[in-house]
A and B are shown apart, each in its own frame.
Chain A
Amino acid sequence: MIEVKQVSKRFGTISAIEDVSFRVEAGEVYGLLGENGAGKTTTMRMMATILQPTEGDIEISGFSVQKEPVEVRRRIGILFGGDVGLYNRLSARENIAYFGSLYGLEQRRLQERIDSLSQMLEMESFIDRRVGAFSRGMKQKVAIARTLVHDPDVILLDEPTTGLDVTAANIFRRMVGKLQEEGKTILFSSHNMGEINKLCKRIALIHKGRLQFAGGLDTLRERFGISDLDDIFMAVVEGSEA
């Protein structure tokens, strides 16, 4: 479970997030929607304890990011957007194993996890090759495997399909479905309404650091009287600027 409670984040005089609250239930795939620069990554970074909220708090599986950051980190797996953040001079297996070791996985368990993730993400053909020469899609798969290696309860995915081709994006969606079946809590950020529509039933919509909506997609459609999510998104954005 993730609970964001009246969180604000300011960098000097710049307000990145202002009084945002939403709740992701255990086992749910939840969408965090917003344009580039809306504050999605800042919110994710606060959940991952990289940044501290200026006001409010976030609880992950009942642990406060401010008071119990190590407990929070034990329970989350985060995939940052943009740069996939892998060690190019290490092989895919070495990258995943390194993070698994840091989470305290025993050698046998670690190998089992790597084999299982390699199969699930179709990485067997390149698992022992160095990451530097990989395509964006291959790198993204390795980054996802690294995020999941310690089998976290809460998975934070920041723009995970950016730069992926159609096949890789499909593999990714299948994987999210499988993780949901396993009861994982997933927060998925994107600026792509179509993708959110395929994966989530509930969303939080952020614009310029402020929460515009939090709830079910059906409620959102009912409220605006429009079925197309892209149109709703535009209506929200324009409405907040009016």
Chain B
Amino acid sequence: MGRRVIWTVFRKEMLDLFRDRKALLGTFLVPLVIIPFVFFLLGMSYSNVEKEARAYIPIAVNGSSGLVASLQTIPGVSILQPSNQEQALQEGQLRAIITISPAFEERVKVGGTGEVVVAFDSTNQKSVYARTVIEKTVEAYSKEIVVQRLKQAGMSEQAIKPIASTYQNVATEERLSGGMLAGIIPLMLVVSLASGGIAAANDLVAGEKERGTLESLMTAPIAANHILTAKLMAVMVMSCMSALASLVSLSLVLRLGPLEMESGFSLSFFSPVTLLVLVLTILVLAATFAALELVLSTIAKSFKEGQTYMSGVIFLAMVPSYMMMPLNPVDIPGYYYVLPVFNGVALCKEVFYGRVEPLHALVGLGSSLVYVAIITVMSSRLFRKEGAVVKN
């Protein structure tokens, strides 16, 4: 009887939600439209700035040296002499001003140090790029002088380079790819899980209360817990669908979009175990958010009031995601695995780094289940409270 009632209510809720434009927008708008749009704009903007910064590097040079000739060989470099160089730099017409000291060549010739001052604007990305180009050119020119001086002294370059060091990166291509995804995906995933169920949760309790349907429903000979279970399942489905749409959307954006990943996009860090942990993490996070959203929706006296309460859920999702964004899984503090939502984000990061610690998975998923149970019991008590389903 209980299962039949839960299935009947769940089926109706899904039918109702799929016909509700507000709920569908809430579930799919962020992952399918906003995420690709933001990444596209971000990528376009970075790529355009970088292209422009490389294509044309207007600089001013005061003084003379062989360094100037070296600079002129760099593609895109154009030497200008505007009347007011500082103003031109501030206004972006110049990317850098190089001032070579008057006695530069003489000092270098006698084995001394020639001085070069480079003025640039750190708030302008194109100017920062010009600084990098100049720095590399100065280094190369400096190296040429050193080699000449060593030759004159009868020494080889090895004399000042006694150690040859090579740095080998042990991170595999998969891990490099996963590491980058581990920064972005947990944030997107958790925010989608939280936001995807909001419209549904608000409509299924606060909305029904406002429309008077919940009161009619509660006069049927069925247990309040069965109604709540069906509603929890419906909200979870909407949350998971939103998260899935986010993952697909983000994968497509990273594979096809204008953002270039250092190591190329790959999902090869997934193994059956990490995939299973990811699925379980998504499910417990969806259940946590769904139960919490139903509590808030039950407390709310109207749909509008429910919407106000729900903004707190997004905040709850964003804080741990942002806090852990720069962290490598090995740097995540142990107690994060028992904190609500933090544990889900931490497990997501481990999954995307391709190595899940069994103890972390056990503690993270176990503690999440405890939180889900606590919030569900709370929600159930509220739901059964006299007058909780009555509008006035």
Q: Please report A residues at the B interface, Cβ cutoff 8 Å.
A: 11, 45, 48-52, 70-71, 73-74, 76, 78, 80, 82-90, 94, 98-99, 101-104, 130, 146
Contact = CB atoms under 8 A, between A and B. Distances in A.
Contacts, number: 74
Contacts of B220: 73, 99, 102-103
B215 A51 contact: no
Nearest to B389: A50
A98 B389 CA distance: 19
Given A87-B16, A90-B15, A101-B8, A74 B221 contact: yes
Contact of A84 (B20, B212, B219, B221): B212
A160 B219 CA distance: 17
Nearest to A75: B221
Nearest to B216: A85
A49 B213 contact: no
Nearest to A84: B212
Interface size class of B (residues with CB under 8 A): 20 to 34
A51 B215 CA distance: 11
Contacts of A104: 1, 4, 221
25 contacts: A48-B219, A50-B215, A51-B386, A80-B215, A83-B211, A83-B391, A85-B213, A85-B216, A87-B12, A87-B211, A89-B16, A89-B19, A90-B12, A90-B15, A94-B12, A94-B15, A98-B8, A98-B12, A99-B216, A99-B220, A102-B5, A102-B9, A103-B220, A103-B221, A104-B4
A49 B19 CA distance: 31
B273 interface: no
A127 B215 CA distance: 23
Interface string B199-240: 000000000000111011111111000000000000000000
Contacts of A99: 216, 220
B49 interface: no
A80 B386 contact: no
A188 B12 CA distance: 30
Nearest 7 A-B pairs (CB), nearest first?
A85-B212, A83-B212, A89-B19, A73-B221, A102-B220, A74-B221, A48-B219
Interface of B: 1, 4-5, 8-9, 12, 15-16, 19-20, 211-213, 215-222, 386-387, 389-391
Contacts of B5: 102
Given A50-B390, A98-B8, A102-B9, A80 B212 contact: yes
Contact of A70 (B8, B12, B221, B390): B221
A103 to B, nearest CB: 6
Given A94-B15, A98-B12, A51 B216 contact: no
Contacts of A130: 19
Given A51-B386, A73-B220, A87 B213 contact: yes
A153 B391 CA distance: 27
Contacts of A87: 12, 16, 211, 213
B12 A49 contact: no
A102 B219 CA distance: 10
Contacts of A70: 221
Q: Which of B1, B5, B19, B20 has the most CB of A within 10 A?
A: B19
A102 B19 contact: no
B218 A50 contact: yes
Contacts of B15: 89-90, 94
Nearest to B19: A89
Q: Which of A70, A74, A101 has the most CB of B within 10 A?
A: A101
Contact of B390 (A51, A101, A146): A51
Contacts of B1: 104
A76 B218 CA distance: 12
A80 to B, nearest CB: 6
B224 to A, nearest CB: 11
Nearest to A41: B392
A101 B226 CA distance: 14
Contacts of A11: 387
Nearest to A103: B220
B8 A102 contact: yes
Nearest to A51: B386
Nearest to B210: A83
B218 to A, nearest CB: 6
B221 A78 contact: no
A103 B12 CA distance: 15
A16 to B, nearest CB: 11
A11 B386 CA distance: 11
A98 B5 CA distance: 10
A50 to B, nearest CB: 6
Nearest to B220: A102
Contacts of A76: 219
Contacts of B212: 80, 82-85
